[in-house]
A and B are shown apart, each in its own frame.
Chain A
């Protein structure tokens, strides 16, 4: 599905990603953990197509296509989704209107038929029920005045609507109460299938209790320094990152 090779990225001359190698196959769920500032969100942004970063080395292929050559919207149209660590508020842009436009642009790109208003409404109902998003939130401006948890839920709701093939979730669990966490996990799990992959960035083992990853990676100082199974997350929760740093040193 996605193959990241020796990826280096800098911002304003500072190298933040220092050679990332990561391969995620269709149907797999990978988790990335790592200390604050290690580059997790940077990796997510670079994959999603944010232009602030300069890619100095390496490559990323997405189903055989060169991901780094694509504009952010093309990546979305190809099936990539990023749930943001800090979803922005966009006053004046209605959640529903923009989703409808996005969905139809994506469908047009994929050569699918455009959604009828009726189909869209059905989807809207179904998917917002899935993440138990308060009906009123859909009709408001994107994230405007939403609580931290509501913003995260809105992102997952959008993911459910857009049905990506590869979803990156950047600390979707932070700021969620226990119930919301379960709901979000339920949403993700219901979308899991053999063709769809996830990259889950988190600081807490707790989320991984709900969404069982196939692999857990540790990102530290711009590199993946350790990879293991779900048990690695448990160990990190218990011991922190110091032992890995020592191991690496």
Chain B
């Protein structure tokens, strides 16, 4: 089916009309706004700069259906082996209490959004739809209009989470689209980590996760996104972060698989002396497409941003990296570093990498680098000469290349899990 201007995204998502009243006036309000926006927002095509290499056609034209509740799923195959974490499980977007940990430390609130909208009303309302812009961004609008559930995490003031929260989303029903909305509030002086796994078990599936994150003054938050789709999964992931003073935020995005993946982390550094890290690794094979569109917005002085994305692009797959960094007029003494490095493994594979720095302050240090090359053949030969077979030698070099990113994760179990998944994929 070809895309024409007359296709309304509303037709595609007709069946998704949520109950008119969510029970939350905040949700109802932004839902209505998002739907109104969807009527007007154009569907991005090849001429839209931000979507030049990433066609959205299948996402907005396929006859997606809402998922049903209650699908059977074997959880033992979803978990990260030996990972000690507070677990929260969603199947096809529905919260599964029986698979989730109930007992959390007192200074942490971890709830499905469907509970949090009442139980945490004030906090909920202060974030929901306030950071993600459902007026301008099509996929955020889509998410806001149809989001069913998600996770609400609040780290209370000065609390330290003793182990990560692990949110597992598994998608099991073909032809379904699932919109998930999360809120994370790391209050002043708190510290914590959340792993967010998206696992697709049927195809095709369209999943869309939007996370609004507020990292308050002197708080430190890490989000690890683990994306393991299928050769027919479409996954959009947007993080809208507001970050305060003396705080740090890290988002690690590891895309193991997926037919179509688009990541849009968007960090706004709103308090001085803050630092953020965006790390990403991606390994598209077959005909997969993995697109990382990052935005870091330096709004105030004395902040640092560090971005490292590395990818290995196989077969006929495509990789896209676009790194936007704004340094606003007030953001003097900004340090912004961005690095994107890629190995292209075949002639049919392609990588489009574009740094975009917009600097409006004069006393700043900004650097960016983008490299795309082939696997070092001399190194490959060296390893083979020492007795490693071709595949093992190649894997070792790939491992070494992306190791720089994966080694930035803190959890050993998580790292091992990623390496194992990668080995399985590339075998």
Closest residue of chain A to B379 (Cβ to Cβ) is: A90
CB neighbours (8 Å) of A101 from chain B are 388, 392, 396
Flag the segment in A70-78, A186-194, A209-217, A229-237 that touches B. Answer: A70-78
The B-contacting residues of A in range 45-71, CB under 8 angstroms, are 48-50, 71
Q: Which residues of B contact A141 (CB under 8 A)?
A: 400
Please report B residues at the A interface, Cβ cutoff 8 Å. 376, 378-379, 381-390, 392-393, 396-397, 399-401, 403-404
Q: How far is the CB of B289 from chain A (nearest CB, A)?
A: 26
B301 CB to nearest A CB, Å? 35
Given contacts A50-B381, A88-B376, A88-B379, contact A99 B400 (CB under 8 A): no
A158 at interface (Cβ–Cβ under 8 A)?
Answer: yes
Interface contact B384-A84, CB-CB below 8 Å: no
Residues of A within 8 A of B387 (CB): 73, 76-77, 102-103, 105-106, 109, 162
B381 touches A105 (CB 8 A): no
Q: In the complex, which residues of chain A have a beta carbon less than 8 angstroms from the beta carbon of B388?
A: 73, 98, 101-102, 105
The answer to whether A35 has its CB under 8 Å from any CB of chain B is no
Q: How far is the CA of A92 from the CA of B402 in the complex (A)?
A: 9
Which of B386, B389, B390, B392 has most chain A Cβ within 10 Å? B386
B339 CB → nearest A CB, Å? 14
Are A162 and B386 touching (Cβ within 8 A)? yes
Most chain A CB within a 10 A radius of its CB, from B378, B381, B401 = B381
- Sorted nearest first, the 10 A-B pairs with minimum C-beta distance are A92-B400, A76-B387, A72-B384, A102-B387, A106-B387, A102-B386, A93-B400, A73-B384, A88-B378, A90-B379
Chain B residues whose CB sits within 8 angstroms of the CB of A81 once the complex forms = 385
Chain B residue with Cβ nearest A72: B384
The interface residues of chain B, by DSSP majority, are classed as helix
Contact A92 B385 (CB under 8 A): no
Known: A73-B390, A105-B392. A90 touches B397 (CB 8 A): yes
A87 beta carbon closer than 8 Å to chain B: yes
Instruction: Identify the A interface with B (CB < 8 A).
Output: 48-50, 71-73, 75-77, 81-82, 84, 87-88, 90-93, 98-99, 101-103, 105-106, 109, 141-142, 158, 162
Alpha-carbon distance A207/B386, docked complex (angstroms): 24
Chain B residues, CB < 8 A from A90: 376, 379, 382-383, 397, 400
Closest to B407 in A: A92
Nearest residue (CB) in A for B378 is A88
Instruction: List 10 other contacts, CB 8 Å, given A71-B389, A102-B386, A141-B400.
Output: A50-B381, A73-B387, A73-B389, A76-B386, A76-B387, A77-B387, A90-B379, A93-B399, A103-B387, A105-B387
Docked Cα-Cα span, A77 to B399, in Å, equals 23
Say which residue of B376, B383, B385, B397 sits within 8 Å of A48 (CB atoms).
B385
Q: List 18 A-B contacts (CB under 8 A).
A: A48-B381, A72-B384, A73-B385, A73-B387, A73-B390, A88-B378, A88-B382, A90-B382, A90-B400, A92-B404, A98-B396, A101-B388, A101-B396, A103-B387, A105-B388, A105-B392, A106-B387, A162-B387
Shortest Cβ distance from residue A105 to the other chain B in the assembled complex, whole angstroms: 5
- The answer to whether A71 and B392 have CB atoms under 8 Å apart is no
Contacts of A75 in B (CB 8 A): 385
CA–CA, A71 and B381, complex, Å:
10
